[in-house]
Amino acid sequence: MESAGPQALRRLLDAVMTVGSDLDLPAMLRRIVQAAVDLVDARYGALGVLDETRTRLAQFLTVGVDDETYRAIGPLPEGHGLLGLLILEAKPVRLPDLTEHPDSYGFPPHHPAMKSFLGVPIRSRDQVFGNLYLTDKTTAEVFTEVDEELVVGLASAAGIAIENARLHSRVQELALVEDRERIARELHDTVIQRLFATGLSLQAIVRLLSADPATAEERIQSAVDDLDVTVKHIRSAIFSLEGARPLSGHGLRQQILAVVREATAALGFDPRVLVDGPVDTGVSDDVGADLLAAVREGLSNVARHAHGTAATVEVVVDATMVAMTITDNGAGPPPARDRPGGGRGLKNLRTRAERRGGTMTLQPGDPRGAVLDWRVPRS
- Residue 319: inside a domain: yes
- Residue 129: inside a domain: yes
Give the pLDDT of residue 175.
62
Give the pLDDT of residue 22.
58
The one-character DSSP state at 52 is: T
Does 152 lie in the same domain as 22? yes
Query: Dihedrals φ, ψ of 327, to 5°?
Result: -115, 135
Give the pLDDT of residue 337.
45
List pLDDT tens digits, range 104-127. Answer: 777 778 888 899 999 999 887 677
Last residue of one domain, picked from the residues 147, 171, 195: 171
Give the pLDDT of residue 340.
46
Last residue of one domain, picked from the residues 171, 200, 226: 171
Last residue of one domain, picked from the residues 155, 171, 187: 171
Q: Which domain holds residue 162?
A: 6-171
Whole-angstrom CA distances from 151 to 12, 34, 45 are 8, 12, 12
- Residue 325: inside a domain: yes
- Residue 38: inside a domain: yes
Cα 78 to the chain's mean position, in Å? 32
Structurally, how many domains does the chain consist of?
2
Q: Which pTM does this prediction carry?
A: 0.47
Low-confidence ranges of the chain (pLDDT < 50): 1, 3, 242-249, 337-341
Does 379 lie in the same domain as 273? yes
- Indicate which CATH number applies to the domain containing 360: 3.30.565.10
- Residue 237: inside a domain: no
CA distance 255 to 235: 18
The arrangement of strands across the sheet holding 117-124 comes to 57-63, 42-50, 127-137, 117-124, 93-95
Does 257 lie in the same domain as 159? no
The one-character DSSP state at 98 is: G
Does 154 lie in the same domain as 66? yes
- Residue 209: inside a domain: no
Pairing relationship of beta strands 272-276 and 57-63 according to DSSP bridges:
unpaired
Helix, strand, coil percent content, the chain, rounded in steps of 5? 55, 20, 30
